[in-house]
Amino acid sequence: MSVLVRSLRAATRVPGAPAPYDTVHLTVRYPALPPRDDVERMSGRLAADAAGAPYPVVVLVSGVNCPADAYRWLAFRLVEDGFVVVGYDWVGELFPGEHGLTPGVDIVAAGPDHYGERPTTPALRPVLDALAGLHETGPLAGLLDLERVGVLGHSAGGTVLLQSASRGWFPEVRAVVAYGAHTMASQLIGYPPGTLLPAPVQAPTLLVAGTHDGVVAASAIRYGEQPGAPGHDPVERTWREALPATTEAWLVRLAGAGHMLVAHPEDPSTARGFLETPTDADQDRLRAVFAEVVSAFLAARLTDRPDATTQWERLAEHAPPEIADLRRS
């Protein structure tokens, strides 16, 4: 039976952000019932399907200059698999004097003098608080499981999650997924070459990378290495060294995938997809495998479905051929 996916939109303020760059716009996608009367048919405002409630929530955190709508394909898949999914757009400061679409990066908090004192993204708490408001009133009232939240970030969005998803700051976060993300620290904000920041994540964590990630390769210069340098693999280094030894951590590599795989369709006028090297790999198939892996991982960690853990274990033991590597630390 197909799932009818609908969206509702909301906005929230980020404390401390200067106007007019202080507003985050949310898109929340949820499973809905078909229209039941003329009011719903004419307005398009459809009631949520309460049959699967309480729904675990997944927050999608975009990469720099990647609109939330670029991950709509993944949001739809996750809603169809039993989650409520929220993405957000925030036009804010990227660097001093430069603005764009940001996952929310607190440069001071990420810097060498203050790292570890607070989350490096000021956006996640306001987004979670806005979801709590939607749980109180409106079409999703009473339908969200806000004690079991998954977060999924792409590129810089994944990095700020790895730097921020501490149990002390976000106890409701029970699973972390990052694509094309790591915690290597940029020299531009004062770190010595080769610095790897610790990731204070206690929740089960899944790091996914493409074998042909041109953006990560080209960005090596930020960390004191040459682009394309042999052995430059910040994602694996993050998985191997940055996460606490007690954290359940998985590494997955997708054969032939690039950095922008998950932002689809890609807008070539923004972000840094021009750094990618095209491959012959079937990108649609890679996206399908990525979605399968993410959905299975999140279901096993965020739900009480008896088959969810079995499904993840089966996938880990019998990975499809598009997965070049799958390991647990």
Task: Please report the pLDDT score of residue 185 as a whole number.
Answer: 97
| pLDDT tens track for 158-196 | 999 999 999 999 999 999 999 999 999 999 999 999 999
In this predicted structure, the answer to whether residue 67 has a pLDDT above a threshold of 80 is yes
In this predicted structure, the answer to whether residue 231 has a pLDDT above a threshold of 80 is no
β-bridge pairing 84-89 and 55-61: parallel
- The CATH number given to whatever domain includes residue 201 is 3.40.50.1820
Contact status, residue 82 vs residue 299, Cβ threshold 8 Å: yes
Confidence of residue 305 (pLDDT cuts 50, 70, 90): confident
Contact status, residue 167 vs residue 141, Cβ threshold 8 Å: no
Confidence of residue 278 (pLDDT cuts 50, 70, 90): confident
When mean pLDDT is compared across 10-14, 229-233, 267-271, the lowest value belongs to: 229-233
User: For 99-104, what is the mean pLDDT?
Assistant: 97
Q: What is the DSSP string of 251-295?
A: EEEETT--TTTTS-S--TTSTTGGG----SS-HHHHHHHHHHHHH
Q: Number of structural domains, the chain?
A: 1
| pLDDT tens track for 190-230 | 999 999 999 999 999 999 999 999 999 999 999 998 877 77
The half-sphere exposure of 52 on its side-chain side, counting CA atoms within 13 A, is: 19
Quote the pTM value.
0.96
User: For 250-254, what is the mean pLDDT?
Assistant: 98
In this predicted structure, the answer to whether residue 250 has a pLDDT above a threshold of 90 is yes
User: How many Å apart are CA 288 and CA 283, to the nearest integer?
Assistant: 9
Task: Please report the pLDDT score of residue 229 as a whole number.
Answer: 75
Task: Please report the pLDDT score of residue 226 as a whole number.
Answer: 83
User: For 75-86, what is the mean pLDDT?
Assistant: 98
Domain that holds residue 14: 4-328
Q: What average pLDDT is seen over the chain? A: 96
Task: Please report the pLDDT score of residue 1 as a whole number.
Answer: 58
Closest CA to 166 of 180, 179, 154, 183: 183
Confidence of residue 97 (pLDDT cuts 50, 70, 90): confident
- Report CA 173 to chain centroid distance, whole Å: 12
User: For 116-130, what is the mean pLDDT?
Assistant: 98
User: For 286-315, what is the mean pLDDT?
Assistant: 96
When mean pLDDT is compared across 140-149, 161-170, 256-265, 304-313, the lowest value belongs to: 304-313
Cβ within 8 Å of residue 256, ≥6 positions away: 210, 211, 212, 279, 280, 281, 282, 286, 322
Question: Within 10 Å of residue 220's Cβ, how many Cβ atoms?
Answer: 17
